[in-house]
Structure 1
Amino acid sequence: MINFLNRSLVHRMTALILLGAGLVMLLVLGFSYFSQRNKILASAMQQSDTLTQSAVFQIEIPLGRAEAVVQQTALFLAEKDIRRVESTDLIRRTLERNSDILGMAIGLTEKAAGGSDFEILYGWRETAKIQVRDRESPALDYQQDWFYLPYHLKRPVWTEPYFDSDANTLMVTYAFPIVRSGEVIAVATCDISLKWIHKLLDTLPLGKDSMAILLSQRGTYIAHPIKGYEMTETIFSIAESQPDPETSSSLHRIGLDMMSGKPGSMTFKHPIDNNTAFIHYRPVPATGWVLGLIQPQKQVLAPLVRLNEISALVGLAGLALLLIPALGVAWSVTRPLQRLAVAANQLAGGNFDAPLPAIRSKDEVARLTAAFEQMRCELRRYIADLTATTAVKERIAGELSAAREIQMSIVPKLFPAFPNRPEIDLFAILIPAREVGGDLYDFMLLDEDHIYLAIGDVSGKGVPASLLMAVGKTLLKSTMQAVRDPARAMTQVNNELSEGNESCMFITMFCAVLNIKTGALIYANAGHNPPFLASTDATIRCLENPPGPALGIVPGAVYQDHSIQLGDRDLLVLYTDGVTEAMNPSNVMFEEEGLLEYIRRECRQNARLFIENLGRAVQIHAAGAEQSDDITALAVRYQVVPAVTGSLHQSEMEPGRNPDAVLSLKNRLEDLGRMPGWIDEQAAALALPPQLVMELNLVLEEWIVNVISYAYADKSEHAIELRIWRDNDQLRLEIEDDGRPFDPTVQAEVDTTMSLEHRKIGGLGIHFIKKTMDRFMYRRDNGRNIVTVGKTIPGTPADTHSPEKETKAV
């Protein structure tokens, strides 16, 4: 089909014309064949019926003459005494007068024979003479069909045909009972040859493959083209011998119908060649035989098939002649189209001055050419407009890109936000739904003890929202620096934004001030989503005090401050509705329930991992659906940092500042490959000696492999966090996980003096860590294992590393 479609239009039109003509020819031939077929079959059946009637009539003529002769003889003998001389004379005269009768018999019953001078006389032709003699075994003759049946039935009968070895011919006997006073006293018979039957059937006007069969009353073949069937096979025995059950059943059914004594016809599969054939049969009334004429269907339909073959050849010749005008029509139609195609290719290449074929008619090709001319004019105008529009779009895209860079530069993006303040762990993200967005977040140190936090969402999207976002953020930040009170600041900002707000745009805003020393949080809400506060035990509180109206809507609105106390390691989560209203392709939103479930599951993570994983969770929920709103979130963890007393050599080593670097690993052995590179990077940054670096690699690998292998009861993903500090000549590392509780410092010491075969399995890793490091401590904090190891860096001056080093996060 594809190859045909790839051909030229001339070839396809010619092929379709010839195909259409060929289909019409096939329909005509098919209609002619099937309409004539039924007529021919009906005519053949009628001819077969006429032929069988004629053949049966010709069979009954000699049989009727024989019946008449025997009946006259019987009537003559019934009126007088039956004696040898008269009977012998009667037999002779009858045979002399009827040359078609081969033999004749007069048989007395046993009772009648007692009063006569013979029992059974039989006369027959022997060359030119007629012989009459007594039967040698009358007792046996009385049991033969020719005597037994008419005697007991008291009516004339034709016996089954039989082969007479003396006469060397197929014969049949007609027997007539001689009745006197209602009692059978004798039986008169005549024997006739059936040679004429074959001659008669051979002269029937049948086709080459047609045949005539004659069955006796019992279904035995009297005449059949296969001579071996005659007088040895019945139609039922032939049916039983067929290997095909369908053919066997069909022949058996035909035999039953033929033996029913009624004329009829059937279609069946011929056992000789397995082709479909018709049989028409009719009984011979005198004898009870059945004559059947068999004609193969292909022979009956042969003239019709031949006629159709001739018609098909004539049709093919006509199709061949039709090819010439078909090609002419196709060429006259396609030649202008070919010229038009050349011109169209030039137009497609940008040559709008290419000449189109001249229009000389008003047909479809002319209209198509006119349409191409109009299209050329429209293309010229469209390309000119498109060029101008593209230039404008490129300029707008460049301006939007610049606007996005400017907007993203407005919000703080440098993390860690406060590297020198261990009390605060803060991280935030902003993902615009378009090139620029209307969400915002902000934070800054107001003084040594207070941090300003804010998050907002501008109504609408795009450039207008981004402009209002920039104005609102700048106003609120500058106002907070002046008044340092969330409610007062948002009151002033609201009045500024409400003045001249003809577009009726607004900002929902949450603003707060956190006291770093005490953990007290003072906040005000201008119609924004209330934040969540999560404790380390996964308890979550919602800061859902009654909010004020959004900024920029109600001039003169007054906002109220609210306060709450943050506990050690509490996590404050600020977000916009782009998080909770993120939808997947089935229009199912992430919702607050999804956010609460995420906070409950991940609240122990540091702020960076918490926010980054939140963004990934929202993306996974969206499952590729287009982002409909800006996504913004900010998390801040407050940590109580006790005053550090004493030397770092003391047994308790609580952190006094943020770690110099952090590494988060998954509880998978393949993730362990990230650790050596991280250690080398920190060794270079912290100026650690090579010997200590090698010891750190061995100690950390030993402990983390044990955590991955034995700490977790499930197969889900968990985080293992490594933190590192250097303070002068002291190096400290913490390994934190949420696995099963396990205190390595209370485990029994390994007896290294014992031989390996007597030493208990386990404990060597802990023994190695204790011997390698100067300090080894453990604590269980909020359901998490925290192992601390420390080492004094050899040969290092006390002031080579400043405690104010900026935190690095990995």
Structure 2
Amino acid sequence: MIKLHFKSKIKKSISIRKRILTVLLSSCLLSIILTSLIAFKAIYDTRELTLSIGNEIIFQAAENSQEALIQRAKLALEQTAFDKANELDENLGKVKKDVIILSNMMTNIASNPEEYHSRNIFEPSKNDIDKITAQLLFSSEVVDKSSPILRQEIGLTANIQDFLIQINTNSNVIISSYVASKNGFTIMVDRFAGRKFQNSDIKPDFYNATSRPWYIQAKKEDKTIFTDIVIDALGGGPCIICATPYYANGQFAGVVGMGTFLDNINEIILNTKIGDNGFGFVINKQGQIIASPHTTGDLITGINNIKDLRQSTNISLADAVQKIINEKAGLTEANIDGKDYYLAYAPMKNTDWYFVTAMEVDTVIAPAKETHENIINIATEYMDNLSEKTKMTVIGMIISISILLFFITYIGWSLADYLTKPIRQLSKGVQQIAMGNFNGKLNIHTGDEIESLAISFNAMTTELQTYIKNLEQITAEKERIATELNVATNIQKNMLPCIFPPYPDRKDFDIYAVMYPAKEVGGDFYDFYLLDENHLVITIADVSDKGIPAAMFMVITKTILKNFAMSMTSPDDFSAVVQCANRQLCENNEEMMFVTVFMGMLDLKTGKFIYVNAGHTPPMIRHKHKDDSTFEYLPVEKNCVLGINEEAQFKQQEVYLKQGDELFLYTDGVTEAINKEKKLYSIERLYSNLNKINQKSSCQDILRDVKLSIDEFAQGMYQSDDITMLAIKLNYLDLGDKHNGK
């Protein structure tokens, strides 16, 4: 009885403790639950805010990176189009320049027969099949090959054969050059003598040059032309020909031309490498394919496949070709052979052609998409870590809550406050980053999962900064290149005399000069300086190239010429200055650059003007005999340009200037300025505009009026060559009266 009673008491005692413990634990649990709910709410809100802001930042960074990469790819595609257009245009420009030189030489021969001897030239021989020789071909319309008049013209025209052979020997582009007389004979140089015997082993075939498209077009348009694709009359395949008329005493005498096979142009096209599958092609203003690497499909080329792509059933390609012809340069899109392409295009100034570079849209976008995906993947990984760290934090808090059940409400609230404090710091830090402060870092050192969470988020922002910084570096590099070109422009400008009047105390002469480079820096230059009180040296020159290489060669040429002039001992041997400069320029000139130069020395006391012309355009002079005096060309010798032949001799000339006489020096950029109709400013227009200028005008006014006339003629057309001019006027010869204003 006693034992049972004791057990009963024990049971009743435990029950009371349980109730007390239950009340106590319930009170503590209630406090802990309330505190925990607040903590969980803070964690959840922080997580959601972090995820929301992080996703927004990630998406924006990915979109910006993708857009920047696509834009950079498009710019690279456009730059390739411009570079390839310039490369192909430069090759055709060289052919055009040679054709014009050939025309001028033939015009001089035909107009001045008394200055040339009759030379022998023969019809083609099969023995010369592997030789580059000049060959005489007759038209079927020539009845009497032995006619004295015809033979006299043939012998006179034969003087051009050495130049034709030199062109064909030294050029990798030109495959044939010829002079076709209107009287039915042609002098031709090519590498295919054997093809002229297709119908006979004894006599060469007739060659009717006057019926060829290049002859007819050049005669009709009376200017230098490039044909579209034609079939070589001698079986050489598709080719393109540059031709221009020549004259005898102002009358049409025939046509000169030079041809290049389409394979030579295709070589440049086929070498156009743009990524893994990009390519280039050429079209003309009629929308026809001139050259293309494709042998099938929308862009097939060849003489039997000449069609206007604007009439293509491929609407997107037809619209793109129409846009290319209308806008000249830019970027568009088209579907070619079932694939979408970006097309970048640029015009060629020597022909009515456009160079087009093509790259698949998917190829352009693929790197950007890959970068976009990489950013998303990296960010997703960090966001997953964020969620994981959040989970760990929640688990830790649950464990803490289990422990806190044994403590009083106050300890529970204190512990909850302790746990939520770093979370609030994390939330505040994330909000700062969301406002765009990528340099800000979360500085949390709790030693638990919250600190790990902050470290992970800091790492994510660092990665985003790296991507953005890379984009900024690309932009900065482009700005650096532009800055360096600007510095080069200023350096070149400061190397030329630019202070006018250069000698304020000298009233006996007036001088002014200007130079307008076609690019940031140019190859033209002018110079003037006093050797002593009475001798003024003036120079104007034009280097054979443009841009940075021409500018460097210009600096060398200017320095050498001035050094030799300043060290000259005898003013009467002025040609020695040019000769010595030429020899020094020829040394180590592996790039075969050359420069045309006109250099003269004026005796300000006597008016004696000694000068040497090295292949430059002749200056103009106006003598003040009376009020209606006009400019005329200064007589010049045909001396060689500088930098080509170190053994060349240079003949100096002299003329006496009188009070009021004027000299006008210029480079070919003046006369070769073009307008929107592709017409040249021309020597005739320059001569006419110069003679409209009042004789009382200053040198500065003369150059200003000429430049205004060029700008008015060009109608805003792109300047294709450097423009340089220099004018000098002799006010009086008596130096003793210069301070008296005479």
| TM-score over 0.5 (shorter chain) | no
Provide TM-score, normalisation by structure 2.
Answer: 0.37
- Identify which of structures 1 and 2 has the higher relative contact order when contacts are C-alpha pairs closer than 8 Å and 6+ apart: 2
Q: Which has the larger radius of gyration?
A: 1
Q: Which has the higher helix share?
A: 2
Provide TM-score, normalisation by structure 1.
Answer: 0.34
